[in-house]
Chain A
Amino acid sequence: MKTIFIKKSSRKNPASELEHYLNLAYELVRDYKFVSDLMKDKELILSQPDEEIKMIGAMIYLLCKSINSDYEVTFSENGISVEIVRQ
């Protein structure tokens, strides 16, 4: 059988974009748990009264869904970093 490979998009790096938005969110709320929840909880994002947080949350949620590789998010005192561990 013919094997069809899907080439992953490498046009604009979603991992670094995700890192950027996670750090933005953290700067605003200073709560790792909350930032971490934004990655997977759509309802939480929609329920935010602050439009800026809502928007950043939506971008975080979108980027998490669009990275099809395995990736690691590390929360540290130097900030949040996102690293692709397997393409």
Chain B
Amino acid sequence: MENRILPHNEDSEKIVLCSILLDVNAFAEVKPIITSEMFYNSFHAELYENILNLSKEGKAPDIVLLSEKYKGNTNAILKIADISGFLSIDYYDHALNVQEKYIRRLLWKIGNQLSNDVLSHTKETDAILGDLQRSLSDIQQSVSQSSIATFSDTVKEVYKQIENNLKGEYLTGTDTGFYQINKVSGGLQKSDLIIIAGETSQGKTSLALSFIVKAAKTGEGVAVYSMEMKRIQLTTRILSMNTGIPSSEILSSQLDMEHIEILDKGVGRLGNLPIYYDDNSTSNIDKIIASIRTMKQKFDISGAVVDYLQILNVNQKAFNKEQSMGDAARRLKNLAKELDIWIIALSQLNRNETNPVPNLNRLRDSGQIAEAADIVMLVYRPEYYGRSYPEPFTKYSTKGTAMIDIAKGRNIGLLKFICAFDAKTTHFKDFGDEVPEVEEERYF
């Protein structure tokens, strides 16, 4: 057989090892996905094995401690020295690359074995098939170990959460900026699909932007996909919400010096927020899903926002609108679960002239959207219709306020509350402790 060079990447291997030795965070992140046999270079595999041994002994994988294991072996020490020039912030991506190359080598090996078995006629066909399935399943298991957790591990996590709750540390997910929502849900939870629904001009996008900015201010990355607004409009809205200058003024009028100063300060405060846009992937669900995957890999985002479902091109001609919307929502839910992020999808409600108060049944095009979602938030601004609030909020003023109704809350229950809404800057704000809140005691 010809001499083949099997898939491998020595530089990626060096980057992984160097980062483990020089960056205190790297080993904890890389360890769940890398084993020593994944290294193609036998010296690299040996180094990683020694790093694992140091760790088992309770020692940090330190370049000095590691080199002590090679005392008397000058060549080995010099090889480690060469590796130590490969520090990179992208070590996790390189670890995935090392893993991927290893899988390819395994597949090559399985292919060779399969080819031999098939041609030699020494094995029954059923046995060949059985061996093949087992080998493929072994590969899958070896690379997905990090996602497997035992029941007892998970129970410990639950108890930790209970302990935090007792201490008043109820925030387990991403801070929404709304006390009431945080209190019932612990914040936006990873793997959740959250639907924000409302009729036109009720502030769906603005509510989502409030969540995004709050998340980004706490350092959590968010990817935003808007089919209605370009990134410059979205950014202007965010600036508007945070400076009090209406976005229409920012974009289309000549601002005076005072406003420019306020805006500059706002930009200074918000300029580095980890909010990511991808204008090229905004109307097609497949493209959005691919882009979210990339954003997760590249920027380690905590969440993504899709504005809005009914405008999406779903690529499935055979489906009717209801099924295709349900399908899009389910795909987003699966993606949230797979990538361990939260996803907010905005959705239109059917108009109801006689009673505009939103409810789940009016989720346009699909009850399946509500089915796929973990949380459905309905936004209602009676001021827009010149109406008053429904019970039990009839006593509250509608001027500059809005009602948020968590009409579906998997694991969190239901809740309605009133918050502030500034129509000029399209800014939703928490009333804090003074909020006129009524919590419903309804649970699924």
Contact = CB atoms under 8 A, between A and B. Distances in A.
Q: Do A and B bind each other?
A: yes
A9 B85 CA distance: 14
Contacts of A65: 81-82, 84-85
Interface string B213-241: 00000010100000000000000000000
Given A1-B274, A59-B67, A65-B85, A12 B78 contact: no
A9 B24 contact: yes
A30 interface: no
Interface string A45-87: 1100001001101110111011010000000000000000000
B78 A42 contact: yes
B422 interface: no
A2 B221 contact: yes
A21 to B, nearest CB: 10
Contacts of A54: 74
B299 A2 contact: yes
A33 interface: no
Contacts of B24: 7-11
Interface stretch (B56-64, B128-136, B325-333, B348-356): B56-64
Contacts of B64: 12, 14, 17, 63
B280 interface: no
A61 B79 CA distance: 10
Interface residues of B, number: 28
By CB atoms of chain A within 10 A, which of B24, B25, B77, B272 has the most? B77
A66 B72 contact: no
A58 B272 contact: no
Contacts of B80: 62
A8 B72 CA distance: 27
Interface string B351-373: 00000000000000000000000
Contacts of B288: none
A12 B65 contact: yes
B62 A59 contact: no
Nearest to B25: A7
B268 to A, nearest CB: 15
Nearest to A3: B272
A62 B89 contact: no
Given A2-B274, A11-B60, A12-B62, A68 B78 contact: no
A6 interface: yes
A28 interface: no
B63 A66 contact: yes
Nearest to A4: B89
A3 B272 CA distance: 9
A4 B64 CA distance: 26
A1 B78 contact: no
Contact of B22 (A42, A45, A61, A66): A66
Contacts of A11: 24, 60, 62, 65
B21 interface: yes
A8 B18 CA distance: 12
Given A62-B84, A65-B81, A9 B272 contact: no
B87 interface: yes
Contact of B23 (A1, A9, A58): A9
Interface string B65-102: 10100011010011011101101010000000000000
B74 A45 contact: yes
A14 B84 CA distance: 12
Interface of A: 1-4, 6-12, 14, 17, 42, 45-46, 51, 54-55, 57-59, 61-63, 65-66, 68
Interface of B: 21-25, 60, 62-65, 67, 71-72, 74, 77-78, 80-82, 84-85, 87, 89, 219, 221, 272, 274, 299
Given A54-B74, A55-B71, A66-B21, 20 more contacts: A4-B89, A7-B23, A7-B24, A8-B22, A8-B24, A9-B23, A9-B24, A9-B60, A11-B60, A12-B63, A45-B78, A51-B72, A51-B74, A57-B74, A59-B67, A62-B77, A62-B84, A63-B63, A65-B84, A66-B81
19 contacts: A1-B274, A2-B219, A2-B274, A6-B89, A8-B23, A9-B62, A10-B24, A12-B62, A46-B78, A51-B74, A55-B74, A58-B77, A59-B67, A61-B77, A61-B78, A61-B81, A63-B64, A65-B85, A66-B21
